[in-house]
Amino acid sequence: MATSSTVQVSLPMPTIPRSRRSPAEIAAAAPVSGERHVLLAAPRGYCAGVDRAVIAVEKALEHYGAPVYVRKQIVHNLHVVSTLEARGAIFVEENEEVPEGALVVFSAHGVSPAVVQSAADRNLRTIDATCPLVTKVHKEAVRFAREDYEILLIGHEGHEEVEGTYGEAPDHTQIVNNPDEADTIEVKNPDKLIWLSQTTLSVDETMETVRRLRARFPKLQDPPSDDICYATTNRQDAIKAIAPNSDLVIVVGSSNSSNSVRLVEVALEYGAKAAHRVDYASEVDETWFEGVATVGVTSGASVPEVLVRDVLALLADYGYGSVEEVTTAQEDILFSLPKEIRAKLKEAGDDSRGPGGRITKSDISS
């Protein structure tokens, strides 16, 4: 006699719109002296490496068709990932989750040689969307390991970028997570020592780590060129400019985005009275506005500008309609798409590059 079995199905909880306190209630809770306004940091948002990686997945979906597999998050942003998933991208943790012979894109953070080999072992077709600035650090690791240097890699252990760089020369590399570790790390040969770094770190903290390393190892050499990427440096410089005059700073970016998290820390370090990170405008707590005259706004290097506009729209609803853009640098860097995508576009006669991540004055006013 057949028996029936009960299958338990887990359904997601419905999203319930949060009930916000009105602008009048917030104003009454803590009056603001002076005009309410926004200081909008520039540069902010998409960098050239993120732009390149996102377009690579979009073009792969357009010309190869879904599904396109992506190892890890293509960039560290929830909105970007969910948008690409809706178009047919499938994000996986490891190559073993990709069907043999399928197409897989390596994320902007880079991968180790072992990951490249595992893809080859499974006959996977690959598109390497590693940011060229990360690739530069990989090449430095290979070069200095070949010359028998010991490499001190400043970065966060477990971060995908650090795993990829470390994997280029594991026998020659030690990871230094923070300045305190610089005081205790031991090296084999202090006379042949070089430091490299993750590209998305706090500039100030990295240089403090280097200072403390050099105090112990005077012959420590610098990398041939700055490893912290231009976009990370520029976004931190921009937030340093507005933080001292901001009662509140809102950073748009995801929790696993190293550069976004660093922006919150830098804002507080440079004088902001409060600073918070959000993925979406819906996560902004209106009670943050109590007693606040000036709000600083910026976004991490993997954040599309539409998410910043949503935050600005919410701020306008609460009386912060006056927006002053504070520009500390101009960015005009663009990277070529991965060679695999360029070849496919040429074959298909597609001479378009796809949507870019550049921010212009018209974006602010539109």
Question: Using alpha carbons only, how large is the chain's radius of gyration in Å?
Answer: 23
Instruction: List the end-to-end C-alpha distance of the chain, in Å, as a whole number.
Output: 69
For residue 71 the two structure tokens come to 């190892």
> Of residues 58, 62, 140, 161, which has the active-site annotation?
161
Is 229 labelled a binding residue? yes
In whole angstroms, what separates CA 8 from the centre of its chain?
A: 37
Q: How many CA atoms lie within 13 A of 134 on its CB side?
A: 32
Is residue 118 exposed (0-12), middle (13-18) or buried (19+ Cβ within 10 Å)? Answer: middle
Whether 185 contacts 210, CB under 8 Å: no
Is 259 labelled a binding residue? yes
Whether 315 contacts 297, CB under 8 Å: yes
Is 336 labelled a binding residue? no
For residue 117 the two structure tokens come to 């080999």
Is 257 labelled a binding residue? yes
**Would residue 161 show up in a list of annotated catalytic residues for this protein?**
yes
Is 234 labelled a binding residue? no
Quote the Cα angle for 75-76-77, to 5°: 100
Residue stretches of the annotated binding site for dimethylallyl diphosphate:
76, 109, 159, 257-259, 302
Active site residues: 161
Residue stretches of the annotated binding site:
47, 76, 109, 131, 159, 199, 229, 257-259, 302
